[in-house]
């Protein structure tokens, strides 16, 4: 079971939006190390908050209960494996730092096994 922070009085507003978490893909170590070094050089503030990642969701709006975990695991088990290709580097204006262009050929029907924004993690 996840223990969530309850006192966010010292947090910035944007941090409060992420209190319940979000869903990320962390790249393989070799790619992550390269991107993290660039992020540290070009955007140290963001680099200090989170490692190199691909965001798969917006900030979550519900606590991740055991029941919700079962529902998500069941839905994700229907998604066929797929490859993600990283590169080249690019800017992410108007934000500071760098981004890595990534591409993938998601399985037929897309990545959302729930279809049309009916994912259990949305409000």
Interval 30-55: pLDDT, tens: 888 988 998 898 889 889 999 988 88
Residue 109 lies in a domain: no
Is residue 60, in this structure, part of any structural domain at all? yes
pLDDT of 67 strictly over 70? yes
Query: Given a cut of 70, is residue 83 above it in pLDDT?
Result: yes
Domain hosting 75: range is: 13-104
Work out how many domains the chain is built from and give that number.
1
pTM of the model: 0.67
- Residue 45 falls within a domain, yes or no? yes
Q: What is the pLDDT of residue 121?
A: 52
Secondary structure element (H or E) that encloses residue 97, with its range: strand 95-104
Q: Within a domain: residue 114? A: no
pLDDT(11) > 90: yes
Query: Is 29 part of any domain?
Result: yes
Answer whether residue 47 is part of any domain.
yes
DSSP symbols for 13-73: HHHHHTTT---EEPPPHHHHHHHHHHHHHH-HHHHHH--S-EE-SSPP-S---HHHHHHHH
| Residue 112 located in a structural domain | no
């Amino acid at each position: 079971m996840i223990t969530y922070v309850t006192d966010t009085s010292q947090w910035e507003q944007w941090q409060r939006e992420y209190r319940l978490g979000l869903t990320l893909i962390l790249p393989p170590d070799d790619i992550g190390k390269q991107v993290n070094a660039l992020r540290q050089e070009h955007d140290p503030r963001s680099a200090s908050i989170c490692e190199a990642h691909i965001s798969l969701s917006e900030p979550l709006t519900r606590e991740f209960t055991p029941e919700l975990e079962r529902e998500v695991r069941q839905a994700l088990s229907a998604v066929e494996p797929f490859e993600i290709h990283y590169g080249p580097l690019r800017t992410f204006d108007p934000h500071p730092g760098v981004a890595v262009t990534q591409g993938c050929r998601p399985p037929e029907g897309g990545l959302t096994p729930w279809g049309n924004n009916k994912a259990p993690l949305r409000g």
